[in-house]
């Protein structure tokens, strides 16, 4: 029953930026695999989110970027190429985007009163907060950060670092990224769940076709 809305939001993102579109699908893919394993099931219980809510948090976390002006969206990864004023403008957009995502999703909550949207909004709003309290936009710390966002933080970092981005055509190797992430347990990442998510990511298969996965995944949202 949420299929149409989720598809519409992601289509909007695909229209402005295919890299962020596939980044969102890839993040959703890993979350959908995580909730199949025992650690993932435990995680859902402790985070008080359903399977579909958690996958939707992954799919929609960067949806606030649809509001970015094209030049910021397409240049934001090469800030050194911009002039001073445009660097400041770009930073504003970067810092604001989790709240932008929250706002877009809360529109659906306001319209329907359905807590499905509210729980997704809570997760996306905090997806750049760091466990030690030096993330953005609110500098939340430790358990102040909703657990769904603390979990997403690891998947988002992993997908971002291992895929092709505008500033780097050469994605980093998954094992190297995971090793680096291990050093961020307790600072960037939730130490308890971080360890479990890193272990999961060490063994999980990457997607064969994100488009095919997405088509199938959308069927879950017909009945949620």
The footprint of Fe ion (CB under 5 A) covers 62, 156
Contact indicator for 188, 164 with CB cutoff of 8 Å: no
Closer CB to Fe ion, 102 or 156, in the complex: 156
Closer CB to Fe ion, 1 or 206, in the complex: 206
Closer CB to Fe ion, 20 or 52, in the complex: 20
Distance of CA 45 to the CA centre of its chain: 19
Least Å from the CB of residue 21 to Fe ion: 11
Contact indicator for 120, 84 with CB cutoff of 8 Å: no
Least Å from the CB of residue 163 to Fe ion: 10
**Other C-beta atoms within 10 Å of 81: how many?**
10
**Other C-beta atoms within 10 Å of 87: how many?**
15
Least Å from the CB of residue 62 to Fe ion: 4
Closer CB to Fe ion, 111 or 134, in the complex: 134
Closer CB to Fe ion, 85 or 152, in the complex: 152
Cα within 13 Å of Cα(101), Cβ side: 29
Closer CB to Fe ion, 99 or 112, in the complex: 99
Least Å from the CB of residue 97 to Fe ion: 6
Least Å from the CB of residue 113 to Fe ion: 27
Q: At CB < 8 A and 24+ separation, what contacts does 7-11 make? A: 7/218, 9/60, 9/63, 9/66, 9/104, 10/59, 10/60, 10/63
Nearest to 175 by CA among 204, 152, 211: 204
| 148 contacts: CB under 8 Å, gap ≥ 6 | 47, 48, 49, 53, 54, 57, 119, 122, 123
Least Å from the CB of residue 139 to Fe ion: 16
């Amino acid at each position: 029953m949420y299929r149409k809305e989720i598809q519409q939001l992601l289509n909007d993102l695909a229209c402005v930026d295919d890299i962020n579109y596939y980044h969102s699908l890839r993040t959703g893919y890993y979350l959908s695999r995580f909730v199949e394993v025992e650690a993932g099931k435990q995680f859902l219980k402790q985070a008080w989110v359903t399977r579909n809510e958690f996958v939707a948090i992954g799919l929609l976390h960067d949806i606030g970027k649809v509001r970015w002006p094209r030049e910021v969206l397409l240049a934001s990864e090469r800030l050194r190429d911009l002039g001073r004023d445009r660097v400041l403008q770009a930073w504003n957009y970067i810092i604001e985007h989790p709240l932008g995502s929250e706002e877009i999703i809360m529109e659906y909550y306001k319209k329907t009163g359905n807590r499905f949207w509210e729980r997704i909004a809570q997760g996306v709003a905090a997806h750049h907060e760091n466990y030690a309290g030096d993330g953005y936009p609110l500098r939340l710390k430790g358990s102040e950060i909703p657990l769904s966002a603390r979990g997403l933080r690891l998947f988002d970092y992993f997908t971002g670092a291992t895929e092709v981005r505008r500033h780097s055509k050469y994605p980093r190797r998954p094992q190297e990224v995971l090793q680096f992430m291990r050093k961020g347990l307790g600072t960037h990442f939730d130490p308890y769940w971080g360890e479990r998510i890193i272990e999961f990511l060490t063994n999980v298969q990457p997607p064969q076709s994100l488009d095919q996965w997405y088509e199938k995944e959308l069927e879950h949202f017909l009945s949620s």
